[in-house]
């Protein structure tokens, strides 16, 4: 019977699956050394759910093998004591000390050794005849009364398994939600980085465009100033309205710059705040993940301990009753009633604990559902914010495209205006070429006139020679006419002096006018250089015309020299006339009249040259006026373009105001989300507190179960050693039902 009891217990232990079994050695050692338990929990987390690592299996198999050996050795010692009761104490001590010398490191084995020694000492004191008097019927009745029913054990075991499965499902759900939140946070971070890069590139492009626009506006201002000066020189009319427009445009450009800088600063500050919030949330997520991983490790460790306790509890359900009956059978007659009451109290306590645990689980589930809904709402809000951000980016891109189109249109207009200017330049070149041809024709005419004059001078010289020949004959006659001739010469000299004074005045006026024209031309040349040196060719033409005027002046000087020569010749003629007779006085008068006529012709020619010069100046002035009108038209077009730019800027300001409103709306949403996040954090803290309370309760239950298993196993060995008939032999139906229950429980786990 004793052998069958030991074999039945070993059979139940062998039927336990090695994957779910956890050695008793690990349980007590983990209580003593929490650092090792954490390392083992971390190793256990590395394996997926439902699969245990090979070292734990090996340890479980070793512990089960050690228990089997201990039970077999205990059965052998009991048989030896039955055969030789006198030497059972010494043999039992020697066998136990030699067999378990290698298992002193295990606290559970040491407890079993101590209990077996105590039981052997007590049995040595009892006589073998007294052992036989103990009736098997009484022992069986005592065990039946003290043993709890199957109906009380099954719901407790089933509830424990359901609770463990529920906790595992909650942990998995929390892990999945945390992984989803991680992925979403990573997506949001990547989107924020991408948006920051895009905004930086857009800001750089906008700054470059603003610089180009400012450069263009500066060039336009210079052109407007140049055109204003030209108009003041040509038409002598100021343009204060255009200067005011230029100042307004410059002030608006500066305002735009300041607004852009403010927007950049605000955006950078907000981006920094959001980045700090993201880092804080990431740290919180990492802490929560670590906490969840620790909880998972503790749950797995507790599940393994519960499995070992259940497996150890299978064989020792009724051994406590056997211990009480073996040790205190005569002293305590009413012990079974006390054990029943104690078991009922424990059952009630367990039921109340289960009810409280279920209520706490329901509360935790409700809080988790609320937190999940809040997280969903937060994710939805973030998605809406991202959608609004994309809308704003699309609008910015549309504005950028519109600005690019406007710039292209303005560039086209500038190209058309440049073409017009080139066409006008070509027309000017053609007109200057025509003027050159006209001047060349005029020079040819003047050269022909000079040749005619020279021919006339030659004729005069010939006539003079003839007159000299005649004067030699008429010297006596001219003496009487000297007075008349001197009078005539004085009048001629007076007239010549007047003519010279008028010439000097005309030359002075011409020089002053030339200086003025030079100054005006220099100013105009400077203005033309500011306008991208577009009128350099006209300047060259003007210089050529000045050269032509200088040539004309040289011709005038030559004519004056000819006049001086004529005067010298007249003086010679006067000296010769002294010898001419009075008969030639009329001829001298006629010659004087001819000289006056020639002088008049020369003055007429000079006036004609001056008139031609005035015409050329008038033509140049007309060209300058046409250029001024063209520049005024350009100025008006630039003003219209500036007005269009103002309209565009007003539109962009309105759009920026709308964007700022949308930004305020998104900021409010972010504040709401932060508040919700804080509420979720508080709920998570409460959930952690609930988990801690549940952990403490599980620890208490685990400690109670460990104590029960620690007491049940040695009592079973004691019952085997005492020779009391075991419940496995007397009631095979109950033992089989308990084994089936334990197998089903282990399969569920």
Q: What percent of the chain has pLDDT over 70?
A: 60
The region of weakest confidence among 88-102, 435-449, 456-470, 559-573 is: 88-102
Q: Does the pTM exceed 0.85?
A: no
- DSSP structure class, residue 147: S
Does residue 27 carry a pLDDT above 60? no
Does residue 320 carry a pLDDT above 60? no
Query: What mean pLDDT is predicted for residues 690-719?
Result: 74
The region of weakest confidence among 567-576, 599-608, 656-665 is: 567-576
Element (H, E) at 332: none
Query: Which pair of tokens denotes residue 670?
Result: 């972010």
For the residues of 430-482, what is the DSSP string, one character each?
A: HHHHHHHHHHHHHHHHHHHHHHHHHHHHHHHHHHHHHHHHHHHHSHHHHHTTH
pLDDT of residue 733: 40
Average pLDDT of the chain is 69
Instruction: Measure the CA–CA gap between 606 and 191, rounded to whole angstroms.
Output: 87
Does residue 83 carry a pLDDT above 70? no
**Of residues 385 and 738, more confidently modeled:** 385
Does residue 5 carry a pLDDT above 50? no
Instruction: Measure the CA–CA gap between 316 and 143, rounded to whole angstroms.
Output: 12
Express each pLDDT in 183-225 by its tens digit.
Answer: 877 788 887 778 878 877 777 777 777 666 655 555 544 444 4
For the residues of 366-417, what is the DSSP string, one character each?
A: HHHHHHHHHHHHHHHHHHHHHHHHHHHHHHHHHHHHHHHHHHHHHHHHHHHH
pLDDT of residue 728: 38
481: pLDDT confidence band, cut at 50, 70 and 90? Answer: low
230 within 8 A of 627, measured Cβ to Cβ: yes
Express each pLDDT in 90-107 by its tens digit.
Answer: 444 455 555 444 444 455
Instruction: Measure the CA–CA gap between 236 and 222, rounded to whole angstroms.
Output: 19
Express each pLDDT in 223-264 by its tens digit.
Answer: 444 444 444 434 334 333 445 666 776 777 777 778 777 777
- Per the listing, tokens 């050529």 go with 544
pLDDT of residue 491: 79
- Per the listing, tokens 């999945």 go with 176
**What sign results for the dihedral spanned by CA atoms 528, 532, 533, 534?**
negative
728 within 8 A of 292, measured Cβ to Cβ: no
228 within 8 A of 242, measured Cβ to Cβ: yes
pLDDT of residue 379: 75
Query: Which pair of tokens denotes residue 483?
Result: 């007075």
581 within 8 A of 476, measured Cβ to Cβ: yes
What is the SS3 assignment for 99-142? Answer: HCHHHCCCHHHHHHHHHHHHHHHHHHHCCHHHHHHCCHHHHHHH
Express each pLDDT in 376-424 by its tens digit.
Answer: 777 777 777 778 777 888 888 888 888 888 888 888 888 888 888 889 8
pLDDT of residue 679: 86
Instruction: Measure the CA–CA gap between 475 and 624, rounded to whole angstroms.
Output: 65
pLDDT of residue 237: 40
Instruction: Let me know if 181 is exposed, middle or buried by CB neighbors in 10 A (0-12, 13-18, 19+).
Output: middle
pLDDT of residue 501: 85
Express each pLDDT in 115-144 by its tens digit.
Answer: 667 766 766 655 444 444 444 444 444 444
pLDDT of residue 157: 61
Instruction: Let me know if 715 is exposed, middle or buried by CB neighbors in 10 A (0-12, 13-18, 19+).
Output: buried
Calculate the CA dihedral of residues 546, 550, 556, 562 and round it to 10 degrees. Answer: -160
**Of residues 728 and 642, more confidently modeled:** 642
- CA separation, residue 130 to residues 125, 127, 631 (Å): 10, 5, 139
Does residue 594 carry a pLDDT above 60? yes
**Of residues 341 and 79, more confidently modeled:** 341
pLDDT of residue 144: 45
Query: What are the boundaries of each domain within the chain?
Result: 2-178+284-373+689-748, 430-652
Instruction: Measure the CA–CA gap between 404 and 408, rounded to whole angstroms.
Output: 6
**What sign results for the dihedral spanned by CA atoms 241, 242, 247, 251?**
positive
Element (H, E) at 334: none
Instruction: Measure the CA–CA gap between 169 and 661, rounded to whole angstroms.
Output: 45
Express each pLDDT in 512-540 by its tens digit.
Answer: 878 888 888 888 777 766 776 666 676 67
Instruction: Measure the CA–CA gap between 296 and 172, rounded to whole angstroms.
Output: 9
Express each pLDDT in 603-641 by its tens digit.
Answer: 888 888 888 888 888 888 888 888 888 888 888 888 888
Instruction: Name the residue among 528, 599, 587, 510 with its Cα closest to residue 563.
Output: 599
Instruction: Let me know if 310 is exposed, middle or buried by CB neighbors in 10 A (0-12, 13-18, 19+).
Output: buried
Helix (H, G, I), strand (E, B) or coil at 52: coil
Q: How many CB atoms lie within 10 A of CB 570?
A: 20
Q: What percent of the chain has pLDDT over 90?
A: 0
pLDDT of residue 714: 52
pLDDT of residue 554: 82
pLDDT of residue 24: 37
721: pLDDT confidence band, cut at 50, 70 and 90? Answer: very low
pLDDT of residue 410: 87
Does residue 723 carry a pLDDT above 50? no
Query: What mean pLDDT is predicted for residues 8-19?
Result: 46
**Of residues 738 and 256, more confidently modeled:** 256
Query: Which pair of tokens denotes residue 548?
Result: 């032509």
- CA separation, residue 392 to residues 78, 194, 397 (Å): 89, 15, 9
Residue 140 neighbours by CB under 8 Å, 6+ apart: 725, 727, 730, 731
- Per-residue buried b or exposed e for 435-471, using 16+ beta carbons within 10 Å of the residue's own CB: beeebeeeeeebeeeeeebeeebeebeeebeebeebb
């Amino acid at each position: 019977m004793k052998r069958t009891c030991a074999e039945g217990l070993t059979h139940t232990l062998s039927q336990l699956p090695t994957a779910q079994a956890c050695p008793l050695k690990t349980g007590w050692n983990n209580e003593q050394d929490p650092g090792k338990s954490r390392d083992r929990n971390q190793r256990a987390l590395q394996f997926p759910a439902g699969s245990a690592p090979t070292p734990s299996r090996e340890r479980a198999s070793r512990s089960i093998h050690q228990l089997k050996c201990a039970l077999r050795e205990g059965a052998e010692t009991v048989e030896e004591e039955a055969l030789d009761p006198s030497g059972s104490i010494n043999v039992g001590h020697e066998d136990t000390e030699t067999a378990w010398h290698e298992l002193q490191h295990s606290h559970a084995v040491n407890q079993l050794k101590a209990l077996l020694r105590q039981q052997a000492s007590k049995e040595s004191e009892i006589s073998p005849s007294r052992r036989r008097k103990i009736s098997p019927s009484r022992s069986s009745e005592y065990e039946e009364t003290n043993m709890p029913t199957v109906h009380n054990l099954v719901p407790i075991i089933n509830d424990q398994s359901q609770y463990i499965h529920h906790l595992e499902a909650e942990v998995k759900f929390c892990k999945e939600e945390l992984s989803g939140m991680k992925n979403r946070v990573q997506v949001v971070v990547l989107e924020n980085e991408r948006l920051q890069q895009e905004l930086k590139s857009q800001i750089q492009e906008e700054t470059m465009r603003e610089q180009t626009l400012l450069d263009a506006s500066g060039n336009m201002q210079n052109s407007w100033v140049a055109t204003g000066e030209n108009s003041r020189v040509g038409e002598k009319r100021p343009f204060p309205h255009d200067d005011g427009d230029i100042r307004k445009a410059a002030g608006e450009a500066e305002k735009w710059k300041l607004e852009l800088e403010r927007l950049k600063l605000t955006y950078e500050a907000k981006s920094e705040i959001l980045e700090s919030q993201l880092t804080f949330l990431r740290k919180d997520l990492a802490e929560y993940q670590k906490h969840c991983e620790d909880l998972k490790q503790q749950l797995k460790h507790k599940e393994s301990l519960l499995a070992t306790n259940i497996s150890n509890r299978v064989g020792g359900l009724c051994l406590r009753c056997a211990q009480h009956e073996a040790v205190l059978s005569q002293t305590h007659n009413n012990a079974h009633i006390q054990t029943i009451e104690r078991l009922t109290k424990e059952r009630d306590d367990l039921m109340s604990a289960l009810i409280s645990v279920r209520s706490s689980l329901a509360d935790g589930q409700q809080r988790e559902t609320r937190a999940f809904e809040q997280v969903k709402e937060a994710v939805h809000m973030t998605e809406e914010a991202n959608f609004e951000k994309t809308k704003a980016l699309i609008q910015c891109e549309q504005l950028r495209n519109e600005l690019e189109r406007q710039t292209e249109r303005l560039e086209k207009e500038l190209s058309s205006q440049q073409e017009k200017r080139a066409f006008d330049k070509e027309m000017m070149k053609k007109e200057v070429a025509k003027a050159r041809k006209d001047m060349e024709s005029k020079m040819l005419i003047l050269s022909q006139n000079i040749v005619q004059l020279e021919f006339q001078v030659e004729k005069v010289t010939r006539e003079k020679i003839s007159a000299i020949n005649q004067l030699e004959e008429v010297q006596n006659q001219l003496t009487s006419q000297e007075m008349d001739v001197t009078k005539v010469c004085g009048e001629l000299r007076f007239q010549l002096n007047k003519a010279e004074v008028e010439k000097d005045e005309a030359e002075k006026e011409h020089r002053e006018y030339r200086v003025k024209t030079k100054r005006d031309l220099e100013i105009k040349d400077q203005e033309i250089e500011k306008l991208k040196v577009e009128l350099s060719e006209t300047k060259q033409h003007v210089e050529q015309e000045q050269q032509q005027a200088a040539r004309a002046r040289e011709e005038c000087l030559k004519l004056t020299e000819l006049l001086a020569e004529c005067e010298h010749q007249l003086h010679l003629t006067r000296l010769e006339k002294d010898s001419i007779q009075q008969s030639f006085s009329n001829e001298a008068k006629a010659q004087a009249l001819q000289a006056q006529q020639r002088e008049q012709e020369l003055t007429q020619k000079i006036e004609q040259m001056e008139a031609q010069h005035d015409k050329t100046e008038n033509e140049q002035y007309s060209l300058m006026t046409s250029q001024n009108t063209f520049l005024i038209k350009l100025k008006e077009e630039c003003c219209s373009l500036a007005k269009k730019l103002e309209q565009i800027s007003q539109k962009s300001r309105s759009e920026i105001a709308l964007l700022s409103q949308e930004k305020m709306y998104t900021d409010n949403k972010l504040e709401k989300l932060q508040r919700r996040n804080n509420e979720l954090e508080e709920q998570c803290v409460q959930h952690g507190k609930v988990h801690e309370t549940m952990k403490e309760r599980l620890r208490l239950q685990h400690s109670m179960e460990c104590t029960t298993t620690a007491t049940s196993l040695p009592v079973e060995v004691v019952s085997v050693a005492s020779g009391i008939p075991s419940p496995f032999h007397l009631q095979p139906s109950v033992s089989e039902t308990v084994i089936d229950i334990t197998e089903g429980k282990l399969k569920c786990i």
